[in-house]
Structure 1
């Protein structure tokens, strides 16, 4: 039986059933302006002749045409899913497209290794017109010289924010000639996120701690990942901003000093192994039970599909989920936004 980590945060180390809770959100006018600036910096230029120029994850100007959409290989499951959401088809994907995204791919789509170990020979054998890669995976970044030597078109993306997702979908949808899917799976998602952020602007800003747990330990995280960005956008004052040392060592002393209103937990790898490690680690300290978030039952294990894996067309769901946790008084209004 799994442990109820929502309750464990309030009761210490009792053995219960793992729960997931619901949602919350917050934002400021300054952050709205930053969002607008983020959109403006992308400078995507498209023409009626099927040509598109954009800036990749390394801020390099790149050019693609509709011809590049014919035989696409994606080396990251979330990018493979985003490509299909934009109306594209695939000839090759990495294993996580099936194992993590549960994508329904045909028998003609080849498995070309894992995210960290893609098989370059198998990629070449597919004669791709475009290879989509992650700028956050070192082995994929290191493939660039080989792709250049083989004269294989490629594109690097990084998605840590809903703005990153929208920009990527702009490129994907244009290449596939599916502006309708851009509006459905990107633009409308972005609009809902902005509505939720605007809704919570006048709410009091709570303090919070984001913990990323894995089988061998745990670390605090700031706004360098999608969950940290969502917390920031929803007005959460992440205590990591004042205690950089938490990024390396999850110190109970510094957590006690700040005594955050909310604690959010995301997991990597096996969720049960990560939560077990957390239980045997920092939660064994008697001071953990004295934290405000623990005593007020405001410690949450966040679902992987919305907060660890890239949510793609579900970005608004991620914001809504956390918004309802942080501001339960706005639940009905958030639900109305999501229903439109």
Structure 2
């Protein structure tokens, strides 16, 4: 008697960022992403969207289908609009309170949904892997994932040839405040992997408020700034703040042209398939002699 070949699996099961076991039917066609970054990742995996949040357009400028609906802001998605779209898969973030509140509601409605945490490249790669498993587009996992990983590895290997370990101050600036970051940010991860000495790791006070006294004492080789919100307003606030100190122009980074405003597309928003470009851009600033 001939043995029957088992039918291929109809669903894919994985663990999300909240530790939930999530089961989704292969090839979901009515997907809603509640963050522009995740909307882009789903598109990079070859998927289609029926709904996403406003930042996918205002910040990401994604090319969405004409019938893709905007279902609110990233922090305040409209659950009624989400459910009206009859989604078969919803993508959320565990770092946004408004998303966490939807867990029970979506569960009761019988909607497959998953939380993804993406703060650095490896987490993006893991999310892309799951998304391409669902879409059946392994080729796009290679194109937008493993090929980028190879690019990043090459940049890190090249940077490792330098015996110089540059000291850096990384600042995130709003129109109302500016703070240094030492960790829990993908730019900090990249700076660390490229061999930098982040001075904020030694000075907790810089994490709360930029202390010109400590910046002068450390005199970092580089000062990198990423603006949030309206860029010019954030830069004007910096000029009225720490840059108004008479000692500012005597800092080595300022005198040597190493006070650098970073591109928001590469260093504020998650760069996704451009992550390799982000690493390479930083490496060219840090080690110009190695990256001609």
TM more than 0.5: yes
Determine if contact 1:217/1:281 at 8 Å carries over to the other structure.
no
SS in 2 for 1:286: coil
CA distance, structure 1, for counterparts of residue 29 and residue 161 of structure 2: 48
Give the aligned partner of residue 49 of structure 2.
90
Structure 2 matches for 1:68-83, cutoff 5 A?
69-83=28-42
1:175 and 2:134 are equivalent in the alignment? yes
Give the aligned partner of residue 211 of structure 1.
171
Determine if contact 1:307/1:318 at 8 Å carries over to the other structure.
yes
Task: Choose the corresponding residue for 1:253, options 205, 213, 228.
Answer: 213
TM-score with structure 2 length normalisation?
0.94
Determine if contact 1:75/1:118 at 8 Å carries over to the other structure.
yes
1:117 and 2:76 are equivalent in the alignment? yes
Q: CA deviation at 1:183?
A: 0.4
Determine if contact 2:17/2:117 at 8 Å carries over to the other structure.
yes
CA offsets 1:81-105 (integer angstroms, 9 cap, x no match): 1101101000001011111111111
Compared CA separation, residues 54 and 205, structure 1 to 2 (3 A): farther
Give the aligned partner of residue 181 of structure 2.
221
Give the aligned partner of residue 27 of structure 1.
none
1:291 and 2:271 are equivalent in the alignment? no
Give the aligned partner of residue 31 of structure 1.
none
Question: Higher RCO, 1 or 2 (CA under 8 Å, sep at least 6)?
Answer: 1
Q: Which runs of 5+ in 1 are unaligned?
A: 1-46, 333-340
Structure 2 matches for 1:172-321, cutoff 5 A?
172-203=131-162, 204-321=164-281
TM-score with structure 1 length normalisation?
0.81
CA distance, structure 2, for counterparts of residue 286 and residue 158 of structure 1: 42
Task: Choose the corresponding residue for 1:161, options 114, 120, 124.
Answer: 120
CA offsets 1:46-77 (integer angstroms, 9 cap, x no match): x952543333223444333315x221000000
Q: CA deviation at 1:120?
A: 0.6
SS in 2 for 1:331: coil
Determine if contact 2:24/2:89 at 8 Å carries over to the other structure.
no
Give the aligned partner of residue 3 of structure 2.
none
Determine if contact 2:23/2:112 at 8 Å carries over to the other structure.
no
CA distance, structure 2, for counterparts of residue 228 and residue 74 of structure 1: 26
Determine if contact 1:51/1:63 at 8 Å carries over to the other structure.
yes
CA distance, structure 1, for counterparts of residue 267 and residue 157 of structure 2: 21
